[in-house]
Every structure is written in structure tokens, then in C-alpha cells.
Amino acid sequence: MNNTPAELTVAVAGATGAVGRSMLKTLEARAFPASRVVALASSRSAGSKLPFKDTELTVRELTRNSFDGVDLALFSAGGECSRDFAPHAVAAGCVVVDNSNAWRMDERCPLVVPEVNPQALEEHNGIIGNPNCSTIQMVVALKPLHDAASITRVVVSTYQAVSGSGQKAVDELESQVRRMFNMQEPEAKVYPHRIAFNCLPQIDVFMPNGYTREEMKMTLETVKIMGDPSIKVTATTVRVPVFYGHSESVNIETRKKLSAKEARAILSRAPGVQVADNPELKIYPMPIDAAGEYEVFVGRIREDESIANGLNLWVVADNILKGAALNAVQISELLLEKNLLRVKNPRLFLQDA
């Protein structure tokens, strides 16, 4: 990182949430070269302490004036908060990597997965979108196959952990399991139905077309990240009673024939991918193995015998790490590496605030 400013100040907005805490841990674990790190959150959390390196950070209240003197901000405070505060961060000369859905499909903002489309950062205007967790892990696995054989269609079904809904959902799953083992009626507050020992074919709200917002995120974001509008994507997203780690069953159709052996070899060389695929030895990706890991794990690689050029994949990753915090930090590392930590037009987004 030869382009690191002499004094680099990084802020984490939404620092007390699960992803915010993971961002701080990831910055520390990857020795991100910040001379100062600022933890920002709502007024309720102001004054609380968060561990960082060999010290503690005192959480400050997130306001529109929080970004004076800040070079880079990682946002994980929700879409409404990002729409309100990110434009003011940019106006202060701060580059924002945003984990919400507020800016992902905005044409002014690149949507980046470093293993897939790092070149998209070159034209950023101050806000960079961190994609949806389920989209990130899928495109990391798909990009090398697309380069080799040109994907025309993707059919994906997801099995998503409750941590994707935040700490309250993690607590609710644990509480429901305990209550059921004690012959008590479980309470459902985070989700519309009980999640313990159940699967919910609804993530986020339903749209007029019958798909959920999560399903449409995967559809639209995949096309934007892959940079190929000819790719057709359809998704069914399901919440499952797993604490950490999203799993996906992905079926792809390609223009060029790829055997399972060829796909396995391509993925074995792909950045950010770890192949775990030996059915005879019962080796395949599982969320319990992906939790806490940086890689996207791919297994159950096999040809779809119902079509001429099709493959089935099973893709698993830690939704809090690669699906959020790690990807945001990797984007930040690229910004430094490419000397792109600058804002071209500080007032570009103020009209949106």
C-alpha cells in the first residue's frame, strides 16, 4: 500500500452493530494502515467503549459533522442513515464505502466485489456500494466461470443465516430453541413466524412482482457487478435456523460447455475461492466451516444433466465477513493501492441528503 496518506483517519459508522464490530476487527486483523480510527453510532451508544487493537475506542454520536478530517468512512448503519449522512461525509472530502442498499443501484456509485470488478472503482464519485451479502459470495464463484464460458442464466436458491438480520435475530433464534426445549411457546418478534426448526421463504418485504426485495437485490446487483446485462438471474431467498454463514444452491447455464472437472479446476485457481468438493469423503461446504473464514467455499460441482451447458454449485460464505465487513475493507485496501482515496465532486450527493 504505497499510496497510504501520512495521516489516514478512518471512521466506522454503525460501529456498535454486528457488522460494524466486524469491520473494526477486520481493520485490525488485516493491519489496515489507519493512523486514527473513529467509532460512530447513534446517540444511544455514544460514550460506550469498543475494543480495538490494544486499546478501546469511545463511541461518538453520528452527526452530519462527524466527518471533518476523516479520509475514509465504512458505513454499516442502515439505508436511511446512509442516505442522510453519506452525502455530508462526501461533502467533507471523505470517501464512503456503504454497506446498505441505499446507493447500490445508483448510477453514480460503483458496486464492487474486489475479486470480480475492481476496475469499477476507477470512476467512483465518493460513495462505493458494498453489495448484498448473498450477492457477494455468489459472484465471487461465478466470475471465473463467466470468464471461461460466458454465463447466460443463473437460478439461485439461498439458505441464509439469521445473523443477516442483526443481533436481535441471533438472540431470537437462541431464545426460541431454549423455550422449545423447555416446552414453552416461542416468541416471534424479528420474523413474522418462528425461525427455530423452521425455514422462512421470505427475506425482506414482498414486491409487486411477487419477489422479495432480497431476491430482487440479487437479481439486479449481480448484473451490475458482472457488467453484463445479458445475464438472466432469478432468485428464491430463504431464512434458515443457522447463526452464521449463508449457503446457496446455484444453477448456471453457459454459452460454452464446461465440464465439472474443468469448472473445479477454474475455481481452484480463482481468487477468494476455496473448493471443498469430494462427495466420496463427505466433503462439501457447510456454514459451520465457513463461519469466521474469509474465503467463499464452493462444492457439489456437477453438470446439470437436464440441459446442454449447465452446472450446479453449492456456495457457502460467512455473511458477516465476506458478505459485509471483509468486502468493505478489501474495497478500502484497493482504494489505497490504486491511489483512489479522493473525492472528485464533494457536492455531488448533497441534493440527496
157 and 94, same structural domain?
Answer: no
198 and 310, same structural domain?
Answer: yes
269 and 182, same structural domain?
Answer: yes
For range 33-42, the mean pLDDT: 97
Give the integer Cα–Cα distance in Å for 92 and 72.
Answer: 11
For range 128-138, the mean pLDDT: 98
Residue 185 has what DSSP assignment?
A: P
Could you tell me which of 97, 101, 102, 109 has the C-alpha nearest to residue 84? 102
* Band (1; pLDDT cuts 50, 70, 90): very low
For range 195-220, the mean pLDDT: 98
| pTM of the shown model | 0.95
Structural domains counted in the chain: 2
199, pLDDT greater than 50? yes
Tell me whether residue 246 is one of the annotated catalytic residues.
yes
Given this model, what pLDDT does residue 353 score?
Answer: 75
* C-alpha triplet 341, 345, 349: angle, nearest 5°: 105
Of these residues, 88, 124, 146, 246, which one is catalytic?
246
Q: Containing domain of residue 199, as a range?
A: 134-319
In the block, cell 475494543 appears at 51
Tell me the per-residue pLDDT of 137-194, one tens digit each, with 9 for 90 and over: 999 999 999 999 999 999 999 999 999 999 999 999 999 999 999 999 999 999 999 9
Looking at the chain, the number of H-run helices and the number of E-run strands are 8, 14
Of these residues, 81, 109, 133, 146, which one is catalytic?
133
- Which grid coordinates belong to 320? 458477516
Q: Does residue 2 lie within any of the structural domains?
A: no
Q: Does residue 301 lie within any of the structural domains?
A: yes
Q: Tell me the CB-side half-sphere exposure of residue 16, using CA atoms within 13 A.
A: 15
Return the CATH number at 174.
Answer: 3.30.360.10
CA 209 to chain centre: 25
Tell me whether residue 81 is one of the annotated catalytic residues.
no
Q: Does residue 1 lie within any of the structural domains?
A: no
Could you tell me which of 71, 80, 89, 60 has the C-alpha nearest to residue 332? 71
- Which grid coordinates belong to 338? 490504486
3, pLDDT greater than 90? no
279, pLDDT greater than 50? yes
110 and 185, same structural domain?
Answer: no
Q: Calculate helix-pair angle for 260-268, 133-149, nearest 10 degrees.
A: 120
Given this model, what pLDDT does residue 115 score?
Answer: 98
254 and 202, same structural domain?
Answer: yes
Q: Does residue 259 lie within any of the structural domains?
A: yes
Tell me the per-residue pLDDT of 50-106, one tens digit each, with 9 for 90 and over: 999 999 999 999 999 999 999 999 999 889 999 999 999 999 999 999 999 999 999
Given this model, what pLDDT does residue 2 score?
Answer: 46
263 and 162, same structural domain?
Answer: yes
Given this model, what pLDDT does residue 351 score?
Answer: 86
Q: String of b and e for 233-256 (b: at least 16 CB within 10 Å)?
A: bebbbbbbbbebbbbbebbbbbee
Give the integer Cα–Cα distance in Å for 42 and 88.
Answer: 16
224 and 276, same structural domain?
Answer: yes
35 and 180, same structural domain?
Answer: no
126 and 139, same structural domain?
Answer: no
259, pLDDT greater than 50? yes
Given this model, what pLDDT does residue 154 score?
Answer: 98
